[in-house]
Structure 1
Amino acid sequence: MGAMNGPPAAVGTGGLADWGVRRTMTDFEAAMWRMEADPRLRTPMAAVEVLDRTPDWDRFLAAHEWATRALPRARMRAVDTPLHLGNPVWAVDPNFDLDFHVRRQRLPAPATFEQALRVCQNVMSEPFDRARPPWQALLIEGPAGGAAVYMLKAHHSLTDGLGGIQMLALLHSRKRGHSAPEWDCEAPAAEDIGAWGALSEQVGRGLRDAPARLAARTLRAPAALAAALTALPAGAAAAVRYVRSLNGLLVPPACPPSPLLRGRSLSHRFSVLETTVDALKHAGKAAGGSLNDAYIAALLGGFRRYHEALSRPVARIPMAMPVSLRAGDNPMGGNRFAGARFAAPVGIEDPAERIAAIHDIVLSVRHEPALDALQVFAPVFSRIPTPFLTDWYAGQSTRLDLQASNIRGLAVPVYIAGARVERMFPFGPLPGCAVMAVLASHCGVCCIGINADPAAVTEPDLFLHCMRAGLDEVLAVGGETGPRGLTAWRTAWEGPS
């Protein structure tokens, strides 16, 4: 997080007090929180950062202490209401213990980055203690005090991927050296409330806010009625389009899942890819697409090669892609995204043609009228009895072979307790799908974290080889033919060969 006692030169500090200010979970967040009654649908996400040196432990721990004071949400647990009559409420944990949340581990020599990743993937598989704030930090030290790995794991009900980047931007420092803090932060007061207290708070707030909501609706009513009458002739056609769009987004894509990726477990397998932002942009532009189109095409190229290597080629796979719904004036933190699902064209061999095909598909799904259906219908989902909700969602998500997300990361160098962040690899959850891939840019580098279910991807080394080849063939579209030369940080972590 930041320098000791606070990040005086943080990437941004003005939003610290505003990050995660919502007291009560939204209906969408409440549904995610409750779906974990089925262990297959857990939603942890993590950032795994490669550091150029091992931070001083005391300074590192003090940085996290300050951060939990500056961001009160970091000291809050989720308090559910009885019989799910309301949504969970965030309340300051009266038993907050920093040592429980921030831990360290040293790997014996010789240590590799892959060993550190294995530690991280095991931490990812561990469920959160739901009686405590749902996050965990881990410092993994290499031998001889060299480079280190920092893992920050959080529950998806806290925030989405972009909100997580916002938090890291606020809490990382722009300077390596320690300097005096800009302000002191008092720890938030503990709140020892139970389930009925959480419900009473929501009911009271609803009663207080009801007059203002009624007045606003009354003032808007004439304008809303006039607009509805004006749009009446087009209303039926729009309704039909919305229903069709809704069906396409809620029903799994019209292609069968891969026969190779049907297994599911509660475990994770982490791997990473990297290239430059410029190289991926050039590849997308050369084929008439974007960086994101080239990224998706690279993933699908890897899937194609993996299936062909195991003599089980497929033409399409069911895929999902989160789409951010954030506006510039939205508060920081929280969850504001929609899920688009489609049949992804794995079978297109030519990478340029694949990029163009992905461009058309993504452009289409981004303009679906019902794109925000999960947010719109979240009040219904959050009230469905949990067993029915989990059965429905698992039936949807287990039919997905790939989920892929692209997040704009940090564009400037940042530090954590004096150690420079060389890479920031994001890892998303596996709520029933076979593979989750997330790209985050960091100082001009595309850091791609791949989280695969080992029961689905049974040949992990072959899979990673194929994914690298898929990335290489896409980069070649933009003229990138030589080694990318982006793995110097491995020498710092593992030592000279």
Structure 2
Amino acid sequence: AAKALGGTLNTSFITAAAHAAGAYHRQLGAPVESLRSSMAISTRTSESGGNAFTLARMLVPTADMPIEERFAAVNEILNAARSGAASSSLEAIATVSSMVPTSVITRLARSQAETVDFATSNVRGAGVPLYVAGAKLLENYPVGPLGGVAFNVTLMSYMGSLDVGLNIDEAAVESPTLLVDLLKQSFNELAAFAPASESSDSTGPAAEPGATKRRWWRRSR
């Protein structure tokens, strides 16, 4: 779907989150034109050790609009954020985070979160089967920290699946179930732009060979 719309998986991910967040506010009678989002993008390679990621912060459109229009807008915003000086500075800090005391990283993350409404993260998972005490790992759900944001939605690829972990602060999100439903709906809207052989929904029929499945896990605080 991302390729068909002229963008990347990260563009699709942020677009779906912004689409759902905007719809959530409208359904509660408090529409907003835009929200502040962040995306932590893993830059770890097979040769690198420790933590390595880029943190991009951006103002994304959440007004009522077709999802393909939002995708195009987010794609431009994300490209600009990636090439911005602030993003480069944060990347430099994040790349060496394994050498910095945890308390320092925690304070830095919290200070950054204070300027963000919701957070997203795309984490590259293992490309080979993983095992725990001899048992094969079937699903691998990432749970990103809240750190002051209303919700954190994190994506991890694992063995042909995209596992999505959603961490919600119920003090900020009045109806977590509604947010979950809207996020799933947004992903399905984007998936409609993909070739039929590539589109898949974990709640629907079995996927065709080679298709990517989406699976969800939610945690509320």
Q: TM-score interval w.r.t. the shorter chain?
A: 0.7 to 0.9
- C-alpha distance in structure 1 between counterparts of 2:76 and 2:139, whole Å: 31
Note if 1:350 corresponds to 2:56.
Answer: no
1:171-190, aligned counterparts within 5 Å? none
- C-alpha distance in structure 2 between counterparts of 1:302 and 1:414, whole Å: 32
Confirm or deny: 8 A CA contact 1:298 1:467 kept in the other structure.
yes
Alpha-carbon offset, residue 321 of structure 1 = 1.3
- Correspondence for 2:209: none
Deviation track 1:405-444 (CA, whole Å, cap 9, x = no partner) reads 1112123333322322221110011111111111001111
- C-alpha distance in structure 2 between counterparts of 1:325 and 1:442, whole Å: 16
Note if 1:468 corresponds to 2:184.
Answer: yes
- C-alpha distance in structure 2 between counterparts of 1:428 and 1:395, whole Å: 16
Alpha-carbon offset, residue 479 of structure 1 = 4.8
- Seen in structure 2, the aligned counterparts of structure 1 residues 473 and 395 have a Cα distance that, compared at 3 Å, is same
Of 370-379 and 405-414, more deviation after overlay is shown by 370-379
- Seen in structure 2, the aligned counterparts of structure 1 residues 342 and 482 have a Cα distance that, compared at 3 Å, is closer
- C-alpha distance in structure 1 between counterparts of 2:53 and 2:199, whole Å: 37
- Correspondence for 1:450: 166
- Structure with a larger share of its residues in strand: 2
Alpha-carbon offset, residue 324 of structure 1 = 3.8
Letter of the 1:311 partner, please give it.
G
- C-alpha distance in structure 2 between counterparts of 1:328 and 1:443, whole Å: 17
1:72-111, aligned counterparts within 5 Å? none
- Structure with a larger share of its residues in helix: 1
- C-alpha distance in structure 2 between counterparts of 1:325 and 1:485, whole Å: 27
- Correspondence for 1:81: none
Give the root-mean-square deviation of aligned CA atoms: 3.1
Confirm or deny: 8 A CA contact 1:345 1:357 kept in the other structure.
yes
- Seen in structure 2, the aligned counterparts of structure 1 residues 286 and 325 have a Cα distance that, compared at 3 Å, is closer
- Correspondence for 2:211: none
- Correspondence for 1:310: 28
Larger CA Rg, structure 1 vs 2: 1
- Correspondence for 1:238: none
- Correspondence for 2:127: 411
- C-alpha distance in structure 2 between counterparts of 1:393 and 1:409, whole Å: 22
1:277-426, aligned counterparts within 5 Å? 283-326=1-44, 329-330=47-48, 332-333=49-50, 335-347=51-63, 349-374=65-90, 390=107, 394=110, 396-426=112-142
Letter of the 1:320 partner, please give it.
S
- C-alpha distance in structure 2 between counterparts of 1:407 and 1:297, whole Å: 17
Q: Which has the higher contact order (CA 8 A, sep 6+)?
A: 1
Confirm or deny: 8 A CA contact 1:401 1:433 kept in the other structure.
yes
Q: TM-score, normalised by structure 1?
A: 0.36
Instruction: Provide structure 1 residue ranges, at least 5 long, that are not aligned to the other structure.
Output: 1-282, 489-497
Confirm or deny: 8 A CA contact 1:324 1:337 kept in the other structure.
yes
Deviation track 1:281-326 (CA, whole Å, cap 9, x = no partner) reads xx10111111221121111121122111111111110111124454
How many percent identity over aligned positions?
32
Letter of the 1:314 partner, please give it.
V
Confirm or deny: 8 A CA contact 1:319 1:344 kept in the other structure.
yes
SS in 2 for 1:286: coil
- C-alpha distance in structure 2 between counterparts of 1:393 and 1:319, whole Å: 14
1:33-44, aligned counterparts within 5 Å? none
Confirm or deny: 8 A CA contact 1:439 1:448 kept in the other structure.
yes
- Seen in structure 2, the aligned counterparts of structure 1 residues 348 and 410 have a Cα distance that, compared at 3 Å, is farther
- Seen in structure 2, the aligned counterparts of structure 1 residues 316 and 422 have a Cα distance that, compared at 3 Å, is same
Confirm or deny: 8 A CA contact 2:57 2:87 kept in the other structure.
no
- Seen in structure 2, the aligned counterparts of structure 1 residues 446 and 376 have a Cα distance that, compared at 3 Å, is closer
Confirm or deny: 8 A CA contact 1:305 1:470 kept in the other structure.
no
- C-alpha distance in structure 2 between counterparts of 1:441 and 1:395, whole Å: 29
Which of these residues, 151, 163, 188, is aligned with residue 435 of structure 1? 151
- C-alpha distance in structure 2 between counterparts of 1:354 and 1:414, whole Å: 36
- C-alpha distance in structure 1 between counterparts of 2:6 and 2:34, whole Å: 21
Letter of the 2:89 partner, please give it.
A
- C-alpha distance in structure 2 between counterparts of 1:467 and 1:375, whole Å: 28
- C-alpha distance in structure 1 between counterparts of 2:184 and 2:23, whole Å: 10
- Seen in structure 2, the aligned counterparts of structure 1 residues 304 and 377 have a Cα distance that, compared at 3 Å, is closer
- Seen in structure 2, the aligned counterparts of structure 1 residues 404 and 317 have a Cα distance that, compared at 3 Å, is same
Letter of the 1:338 partner, please give it.
T
Task: Return structure 1 stretches of 4+ with deviation > 4 angstroms.
Answer: 325-329, 375-379, 392-396, 479-483, 485-488
SS in 2 for 1:321: strand
- C-alpha distance in structure 1 between counterparts of 2:4 and 2:61, whole Å: 19
Alpha-carbon offset, residue 372 of structure 1 = 3.3
SS in 2 for 1:400: coil
